[in-house]
Amino acid sequence: MSLLLTGIAELTTNDPAHADGHADPGDALLGIVRDAALVVSDEGVIEWVGAAGRAPDADERHDLGGRAVIPGFVDSHSHLVFAGDRSAEFAARMTGTPYDGGGIAVSVAATRAASDHELRRLVARRVAEMRAQGTTTVEIKSGYGLTLEDELRSLQVAREVTPHTTFLGAHVVPPEYASDRAAYVDLVIGPMLQAVVADGPTALAESIDVFCEPHSAHAFDGDESRTVLEAGRAAGLALRVHGNQLGHGPGVQLACELGARSVDHCTFLSDDDVDALVAAHGTTVATLLPGVEFSTRSPYPDARRLVDAGVDVALASDCNPGTCYSSSIPFAIALAVREMSLTPAEALHAATAVSARSLGLDRRVAPGQPAELAVLDAPTHLHLAYRAGVPIVRALDLPTA
């Protein structure tokens, strides 16, 4: 059984095969096909992509009625495994209290106290919320357990909903280790890491991450971060880094030097940081999280400069209880366009093709690829930012699936 999808006013393929013949650079970047059709197998694999007028026959047809279709968003940075509520911390920030990472301990206490069943229920609800907004692939970090047992169960709960899990034992130093930071780093790189990779290097976590932030008393400095990342790499994990979020620091350069797949936030960058990211093109992606700047009243990163310099720029939500409790990639895209001067096409590319690459994935809409798609109640991708705040995009549930 195969399904022919028609009535696609505009299809974003992210496929260079469809880049030619466009006057508009954004259309070329996105590999746009207008008045398009798609054939999908009943295993959910794309079999054919092209102009509707040339579409082959299929067993069934489904007319999307003149909507735009895009690759499902790849949210390559989220912290969905947490319990508790920090809305009062957000409200205080809006009236001037700065963010320093101290509130993470509140989520850690609530997460440790939650049952497995409760954590599962919370994660499932957040993943469904993402899918309802067009996200079909999500990366999920641990980091609100910070004991061996609670980090493991956070990863287990995350692994039930995505293969893209990240061990973030080095999120902050938990309160019980405040007077002995080195002992906590030893726990992360010793017993915790051993347990994470016990059933094989990627059985429970695909990557390791660290909150490298000398401006927070709770997070890790450059040397501690290097120790964590080198141990993770030796254990067979891919590397991701929270870097340069609260001020200038060593995170970006460390990530580039160690060949991390991504360095995330990049809010405060020096010229040398930008040079390092340019040199790391093809290896290390700069993942921008503008929902964080929105929710912490921080300046937005200079996305325009990064893209113009040739850096691989991804967009993700960072959905977490502290710095951004928004799971919405359309919101991140609207901020990237309005506040960071990316074009709508660059922002969409960043939230699909580039974020996918940072997880080692290919998200072209092309034969042989999984049909992980999203559909817009709108004729073009421009509406993602143009109709900010309006729920026009959702993951496409295939009728045969």
Residues contributing to the site for ligand NIG (CB under 6 A): 103-104, 107, 211, 242, 245, 292, 318, 320-323
Choose among Fe ion, ligand NIG, none what residue 167 binds, the Cβ cut-off being 5 to 8 Å by kind.
none
Interaction mask 213-252, Fe ion, x per CB under 5 A? ----------------------------------------
Smallest distance, Fe ion to C-beta of residue 323, A: 7
Residue closer to Fe ion by CB (options 220, 381) is: 220
- In the complex with ligand NIG, the residue whose CB is nearer, 111 or 284, is 111
Nearest-approach distance from CB 100 to ligand NIG, in angstroms = 9
Q: Which is nearer to ligand NIG, 9 or 205 (CB)?
A: 205
Joined tokens for residue 346:
């660059």
CA end-to-end span of the chain, whole Å?
11
> Phi first, then psi: what are they for 62, rounded to 5°?
-140, 125
Q: Which is nearer to ligand NIG, 135 or 296 (CB)?
A: 296
Do β-strands 165-170 and 140-141 pair in parallel, antiparallel, or remain unpaired?
parallel
Contact assessment for residue 107 and residue 43, using Cβ atoms and an 8 Å cutoff? no
The b/e string for 13-23 (b: 16+ C-beta within 10 A; e otherwise) is: bbbeebbeeee
Q: In the complex with Fe ion, which residue's Cβ is closer, 13 or 298?
A: 298
Among residues 341, 283, 332, which one has the least CA distance to residue 307?
A: 341
Q: How far is the CB of 360 from ligand NIG (least distance, A)?
A: 21
Question: At residue 307, what is the residue type?
Answer: V
Residues 92-121 that bind Fe ion (CB under 5 A): none
Q: Give the residue from 378, 373, 394, 379 showing the smallest Cα distance to 330.
A: 394
Structure tokens at 177: 């280790």
Nearest residue to ligand NIG on Cβ basis: 322
Q: How far is the CB of 171 from Fe ion (least distance, A)?
A: 8
The verdict on 318 binding Fe ion (CB under 5 A) reads yes
Least Å distance between CB 87 and ligand NIG?
Answer: 12
Instruction: Name the amino acid, one letter, at 132.
Output: A
Chain residue whose CB lies nearest Fe ion: 318
- Which of the choices ligand NIG, Fe ion, none does residue 323 contact, using the CB cut-off of 5 to 8 A by kind? ligand NIG
User: Is the CB of residue 38 less than 8 Å from the CB of residue 365?
Assistant: yes
Q: Which is nearer to ligand NIG, 292 or 385 (CB)?
A: 292
Q: Which helix (H) or strand (E) holds 337?
A: helix 329-340
Dihedral angle, C-alpha 337, 20, 278, 240, nearest 10 °: 70
Instruction: By CB under 5 A, name the binding residues for Fe ion.
Output: 318
